[in-house]
Chain A
Amino acid sequence: MSNLLAARSQMAVSLGFHIIFTCIGMTMPWLMAAAELRYRQSHQPVYRELAKAWSKGVGVFFAVGAVSGTVLSFELGLLWPEFMRHAGPIIGLPFSWEGTAFFIEAIALGLFLYGWDRLPPFIHLFSGIVVGVSGVASGVLVIAANGFMNSPAGFRWVDGHAVDIDPVAAMFNDAWASESLHMVIAAFVSTGFAAAGVHAYCMLRGSKKREFHQQGLKLALTMGAVGALLQPLSGDLSAKDVAKRQPAKLAAMEALYETQRGAPLLLGGIPDDAARTVHHAIEIPRGLSFLAFADPDAEVIGLDRIPRDQWPPITITHFAFQIMVGLGTLMAAVGASFLLLRWRRPQLLNHRAVLGCIAACTPLGFLAVEAGWTVTEVGRQPWIIYGVMRTADAVSPMPGLQWSFLSIMLVYGLLGAVTCSVVVRLIRANERGLALGPHEPDQNAGELAKQAAHG
């Protein structure tokens, strides 16, 4: 394994791991705040219970996300010192803002988790909303840095050095708006579907807390479904933006080898770089030209116009794009059906087939997020700063990076497995009514013990 591939793989594993936690950290607080709002309005204890259960999830994911985020801020330098040397002063600004947002999120989360009985209700609810707002702000700010890598701005590149640096212009780069919109919606969709899927699964398993899971499923899936229906619109903005700025990435996403007018949209298919063709794909005539430029006869630049040494890996980018779009479409369909059922036939939401379908969707959002990041990151190769600096020129000179990659993969693999098993046990404990966790666990356990002793 070459040093470059090892460094890219390590970055991919670290980011791929971190992103799940940030998605949940960004959007789960909105669920817990929404549940608390319902509780304050209706005084039904089921919503208080939901808010508490979800906030425990936020607590676990926030702590692990803080750790994996700290790791990333080191890895930027450990793996890509040459990139940081030049890009740090240009695009570091959003990272310092992100630090502020993270700090506010931590404070508000501390108030929310431990303040149920100490804070006035209004302030408690407000702190929940602040967790959500600052979580989304963190995500949007970090994406500014990724937008810069896709759409460099705020400097001139002269003889291998950045001059006339303008950090504000770099932060407000062209890709930022469409990328962060797409990512924020994706976070809401993936978390909404995952949370709803877990509730559906518990109902299928015959949970005694039916009301709790029903309300949880409704709130979470409404959030996910609305997002899933909005996502294609945001995806369209992103696609048009990529078509304009990064023709090589678009060509790789669609495996378009020849520049053409009225380019077709491909569904599926296996790209063949040697023969410069795609096997077994379903073609929608003029679809790509229409989607990319809103004109069925527009010319779309193919890979033939891109020098061979500047091609991104076509197969990975194409497959990842197909997976993302496919899963997104599926979730939009499930979401639309859910909203329709909720409106016209709410009793059907308890049907086992419906619950099974929702439970099966649990991981889809996160898979789509991973696929989407694969598209944007692999599709940008061989550049780390598009058109300016190659990834190969940015990598650390230290030999043997594959060992560092292997050890990180081992650590994250273990960490991911344990996190999943802890979340499963938290859900099961919740089923048994043992609300262990940060809220009065000892008192709860004590009361239960007392009840057991007296009963």
Chain B
Amino acid sequence: MAELVLAVMLAALVIYAVFGGADFGVGIIEPFVRQRDGIDGAIAPVWEANHVWLVLALVLAFVGFPEFYALTTTYLHLPLLGVLFGIVARGSAFTFRHYDPKPGGLAGWYTALFRAGSVLTPLFLGICMAATASSEFPTDPKAGFYAWYIAPWNTPFAWATGLFVVALFAFEGAALLSAEHALAGLPLPHEGLARFTHVFAIFCGALVFTIAYFAELPWLTELLSSGWAIAALTCATLLVPQVASAFDRGRPWRLRLAMGAQVSCVLFGFFAAQFPVLLRLDNRLLTYQDAVAPEATMRTLVWALVIGLVLILPGFVYLILVYKAGPNTRFSDSH
């Protein structure tokens, strides 16, 4: 039961990183895109709805693993605040940019906030991810403000991981834009940018490993001893040529699939490395078994997930069929 909920939680985070990540990515690369007409259309129709995946992961955390949620939100208060500011800034700025009929002097602000927020959230999400995977959290109340609330996430490894997530999302955004605007038989648009962000993401990934190696983080040794993590990262590496060939042959759907699979593998590998540990305190390891909620809660939670899925799926499939099917159907406002 606990494993199932944990798996759904991980899946929700991965889906957020793939779908929400692409939305963020579009904001990150926007300054470097020459043709900006289709940007709003690529994120619409219900842009901020992708946060539902993040909210789902949070709800599963506080219902299923309350100890983990309570500790993370306490220790990582500051970077999580950074995540929030990013979400608020970009979501509302995008909405206003989309709907404001006559923004006047505000137009520049909307765009600046949209772009800044798009970088802020993945940066701090990556930092939080890295901190839960690698840092030792103090339990002595006398340790002081810095030791409790800043030191665990203010590490080279965490910043590198934050940068890596930004690069990853930027690549997703570039791939999304390319795929959305692809025309049959022609080379994919934004190809140079997408290829560059792909290479940059790989470079940042290498940087994360290098820092982990020199900092002698247990995360790295665990990763190398975890079959699942190695398999996932091998898959991600094998998908690199797939992405390149999607560009060479101008295949938007192959690009989307390869990109989504690659991002999922990377994140799965990252989290699989530390399984079953959720958090490292300086006097003990908090595993998912330690943090899990009572049996009755987990049972109703699993039922809620199953019924929720049954309720959501038909509408979701219908939405996709109506809007995304067919080679050239895009949202009416991007025509």
Contact = CB atoms under 8 A, between A and B. Distances in A.
Q: Which 6 residue pairs of A and B lie closest in terms of their CB atoms, listed nearest first?
A: A92-B63, A77-B73, A106-B49, A429-B101, A89-B293, A100-B308
Contacts of B99: 56, 59-60, 422, 426, 436-438
Given A78-B80, A114-B333, A397-B74, 4 more contacts: A88-B63, A113-B46, A411-B89, A418-B106
B205 interface: no
A428 B104 CA distance: 14
Contacts of A165: 293-294, 296-297
Nearest to B60: A96
B100 A422 contact: yes
Q: Main secondary structure on chain A at its contact with chain B?
A: helix
Interface string A417-448: 01101100110110000101111111100000
A165 B149 CA distance: 32
Contacts, number: 241
B7 interface: no
Interface in B9-59: 44-49, 51-52, 54-56, 58-59
B218 to A, nearest CB: 26
A108 interface: yes
A396 B73 CA distance: 9
A45 interface: no
B319 A100 contact: no
Given A56-B99, A66-B51, A96 B301 contact: yes
Contact of A77 (B62, B102, B301): B62
A59 B331 CA distance: 15
B333 to A, nearest CB: 6
Interface string A85-123: 110111011011101101110111111011101110000
Contact of A114 (B92, B100, B323): B323
B262 to A, nearest CB: 26
B85 A411 contact: yes
8 contacts: A66-B52, A92-B64, A96-B60, A100-B311, A100-B312, A110-B323, A396-B73, A425-B100
A396 B312 CA distance: 35
Interface stretch (A67-75, A243-251, A272-280): A67-75
Nearest to A127: B315
A399 B149 CA distance: 10
A266 B142 CA distance: 51
Given A67-B91, A85-B70, A113-B45, A418 B308 contact: no
B319 A111 contact: yes
Interface in B72-109: 72-74, 77, 80-81, 83-85, 87-89, 91-92, 94-96, 98-103, 106
B51 A70 contact: yes
A96 B62 contact: no
A93 B63 contact: yes
Given A93-B63, A102-B52, A64 B92 contact: yes
Contacts of B87: 67, 70-71
A419 B99 CA distance: 10
Contacts of B60: 96
A107 B315 contact: yes
Contacts of B307: 100
Q: Chain A: interface residue count, which band?
A: 35 or more
A104 B85 CA distance: 26
Contact of A66 (B44, B80, B91, B331): B91
B281 interface: no
A333 interface: no
Given A74-B84, A93-B304, A419 B92 contact: yes
Contacts of A439: 332-333
Interface of A: 56, 59-60, 62-64, 66-71, 73-78, 81-82, 84-86, 88-90, 92-93, 95-97, 99-100, 102-104, 106-111, 113-115, 117-119, 130, 165-168, 396-400, 404, 407, 411, 415, 418-419, 421-422, 425-426, 428-429, 434, 436-443
A429 B99 CA distance: 11
Contacts of B88: 67-68, 71, 411, 415
A425 B307 CA distance: 42
B293 A78 contact: no
B81 A404 contact: yes
B297 A92 contact: yes
B305 interface: yes
Nearest to B303: A93
Interface in B302-335: 304-305, 307-308, 311-312, 315-316, 318-319, 322-323, 331-333, 335
Contacts of A411: 85, 88-89
Contact of B308 (A89, A97, A398): A97
Nearest to A411: B88
B300 interface: yes
A85 B66 contact: yes
Nearest to B305: A96
A92 B301 contact: yes
A103 B91 contact: no
Contacts of B66: 84-86, 88-89, 92
Q: Which of A96, A109, A396 has its CB near the most chain B CB atoms (within 10 A)?
A: A96
A63 B91 contact: yes
Contact of A64 (B83, B95, B332): B95
Contacts of B62: 76-77, 84, 88, 92, 95
B63 A436 contact: no
B69 interface: yes
Contacts of A96: 56, 59-60, 63, 301, 304-305, 308
